[in-house]
Each structure stands twice: as C-alpha cells, then as structure tokens.
C-alpha cells in the first residue's frame, strides 16, 4: 500500500438524501412543473409523444431567442466575441431542435389522424416564441401579432420584438460602423418592423468580405450566420417532410394550405445575401 502523502484517494460517499423541503435539483429545474404539463385530449397513446415533442420544441425556441437576442445586443455594443459565442452555441442548439423532429418524422396518416382532431384549430404557426424567433431572423409582419391579441403579455412581447432590429440588422450595422463595410444608408435606417429584403449593395459587401482575409471578425460573423441559416433551412425542410408524410396535401390544422405553405417557407433563404454572394467570390 502506498504511503505517498500525494496519493490522496477519495472515499466514495452516498449522495445526500435528506432535504428540508424539495430537492435543490427540483428547485432549479422545476421538473415537477415540466412533467405535469402534459394533458392529452385523446385516448390514443401516440398523442403523448406528439405533445411532449411539441413542448420540447417550444423550450428550444426559447433558448434560441435568448441566444440571438444576446448576439444582437452584443453587436449593438460592438462586442463581436460575445455575439460569436452566442451564435455558435445557437448552432448546437439548432441541431438539437432539428433532432427533436425524429419522434414525429415517420408518422403515417392513420397514426396522425388518430389524435389530430384533438388539436382543433391549433397550429405551430400560432407559437408566439417561434414568431419571436422568426422576427429575429428578419421575417416580420405586423399582421402576425393578430392571433395573440387575446393574450396581452404575449402580444406586448411580440410588438416589442417587431419594432426592434433583427439579428441581421445588428450585424450589418456593426459591419458598417466598425469595419467600414459599404452598407447603404437605406438598409441601415430601414423600417425594422417590416420584413428584411435583399440588397445588391449588401451582397457586394459580403463579396468583399469573403474575398479578403478569412481570419477576421466580418468573415467569422458571416460563417456563423451561414451555419445558423442552414440549420434554420433544415428545420423548415424537416417540418415540411414530416407534414407531407403525415397528412399529404390536406389543409393544415390552423387553416393554412399545409404543405404548400411550408414549401414556400422552406424555399426562402435566411440572411439571403450571404448565399447569393458566394456566386461572385
């Protein structure tokens, strides 16, 4: 047996099991709240997976909104390092969000139909947190606040997000302010409550960035945004494929055109000039 004083070996101890109230884990995670939020409305056992998966997606939306708001705020303060860290975290989180489609990706029409009526007019289109996520990506429209008029707190949060610059606005402003990027004034001062529209001048600014040195803040921002944009496209496409597999071309649960509407969304690029600029580098 060693008698070396540096040879310190920890004796295994049982975890503490006696707490005055709830466990510290419960106090922090609120697991009891989370695991009692599931109230299926049909007798079909498959509905539980649909409900939990949808709730998990809502939690990931919440994390992504936090990350992109963090990144936008950091860029507003000309702190690209903090912004890049948030964007890189969000890419990992987007992968987890996209993986959450797996329990629903192989639903057959009979399986989905067995509890579809429980949704009534409910649709993911009505998700307020997903709407905030899309607003941060530049997909804005005042009409999208209408479904939330009956929930004052949610409506106020969305109205605030509608009138704040999106993530891409803050990127372009930072590039112009701190790195001399030739972003036109009408883009820098645009009405941020409206959908972002592509600009040839912004496209050229990205061409110039990509033709320059690669180990720069503008280049790193471009690649971090491209990663996010690709993962958003994958999310939209996975949603489209899962819906097409489960219900074909039938009308969506919220009254939309279903697959046709999702096809239109999947075809629309996020941060568009980052994609078109690649043709000229």
What is the predicted pLDDT for the residue at 235?
95
Query: Whole-angstrom Cα distance, residue 124 to residue 17?
Result: 41
Query: Is residue 268 scored above 90 in pLDDT?
Result: no
CA atoms within 13 A on the CB side of 130: 15
Answer yes or no: is 26 within a domain.
Answer: no
Q: Which residues are annotated as a binding site for heme?
A: 239
Query: Is residue 75 scored above 80 in pLDDT?
Result: yes
What is the predicted pLDDT for the residue at 264?
81
Q: Greater confidence, 259 or 48?
A: 48
Answer yes or no: is 11 within a domain.
Answer: no
Structural domain harbouring 215: 42-280
Share above pLDDT 70 across residues of the chain, in percent, rounded to a whole number: 95
Query: Whole-angstrom Cα distance, residue 256 to residue 262?
Result: 9
Q: Greater confidence, 245 or 199?
A: 199
Q: Which residues are annotated as a binding site?
A: 116, 239, 253
Q: Which residues are annotated as a binding site for substrate?
A: 116, 253
Domain count along the chain: 1
Answer yes or no: is 6 within a domain.
Answer: no
Query: Is residue 257 scored above 70 in pLDDT?
Result: no
pLDDT tens digits, one per residue of 82-123: 999 999 999 999 999 999 999 999 999 999 989 888 888 888
Q: What is the mean pLDDT of residues 169-192?
A: 98
Answer yes or no: is 21 within a domain.
Answer: no
Got the DSSP string for 154-222?
A: HHHHHHHHHTSPPHHHHHHHHHHHHH-----HHHHTS-TTS-----HHHHHHHHHHHHS-SSSHHHHHH
Answer yes or no: is 183 within a domain.
Answer: yes
Query: Is residue 1 scored above 70 in pLDDT?
Result: no
Answer yes or no: is 25 within a domain.
Answer: no
Q: Are 182 and 252 in contact (CB under 8 A)?
A: no
Band (pLDDT 50/70/90 cuts) for residue 224 is very high
Domain CATH number, residue 219:
1.20.58.480
Q: Integer distance in angstroms from the first to the last C-alpha of the chain? A: 67
What is the predicted pLDDT for the residue at 3?
61
Query: Whole-angstrom Cα distance, residue 32 to residue 224?
Result: 36
What is the predicted pLDDT for the residue at 123?
80
Answer yes or no: is 47 within a domain.
Answer: yes
Query: Is residue 39 scored above 80 in pLDDT?
Result: yes
What is the predicted pLDDT for the residue at 118?
84
Answer yes or no: is 175 within a domain.
Answer: yes
Band (pLDDT 50/70/90 cuts) for residue 10 is confident
């Amino acid at each position: 047996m060693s008698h070396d004083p540096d040879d310190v070996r920890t004796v295994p101890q049982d975890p503490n099991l006696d707490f005055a109230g709830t466990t510290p884990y419960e106090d922090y995670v609120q697991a009891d709240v989370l695991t009692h939020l599931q109230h299926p409305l049909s007798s079909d056992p498959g509905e539980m997976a649909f409900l939990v998966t949808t709730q998990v997606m809502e939690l990931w939306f919440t994390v992504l909104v936090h990350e992109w708001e963090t990144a936008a705020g950091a860029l507003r303060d000309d702190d690209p390092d903090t912004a890049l860290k948030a964007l890189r975290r969000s890419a990992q989180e987007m992968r987890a969000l996209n993986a959450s489609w797996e329990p629903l990706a192989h639903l057959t029409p009979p399986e989905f139909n067995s509890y579809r009526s429980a949704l009534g007019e409910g649709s993911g289109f009505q998700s307020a947190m997903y709407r905030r996520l899309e607003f941060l990506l530049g997909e804005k429209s005042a009409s999208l606040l209408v479904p939330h008029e009956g929930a004052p707190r949610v409506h106020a949060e969305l109205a605030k997000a509608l009138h704040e610059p999106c993530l891409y606005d803050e990127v372009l402003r930072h590039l112009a302010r701190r790195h001399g990027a030739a972003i036109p004034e009408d883009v820098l001062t645009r009405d941020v409550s409206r959908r972002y529209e592509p600009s040839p001048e912004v496209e050229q600014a990205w061409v110039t960035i990509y033709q320059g040195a690669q180990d720069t803040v503008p280049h790193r921002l471009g690649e971090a945004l491209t990663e996010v944009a690709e993962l958003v496209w994958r999310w939209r496409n996975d949603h489209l494929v899962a819906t097409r597999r489960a219900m074909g071309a039938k009308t969506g649960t919220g009254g939309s055109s279903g697959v046709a509407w999702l096809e239109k969304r999947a075809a629309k690029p996020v941060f568009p000039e980052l994609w078109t600029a690649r043709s000229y580098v």
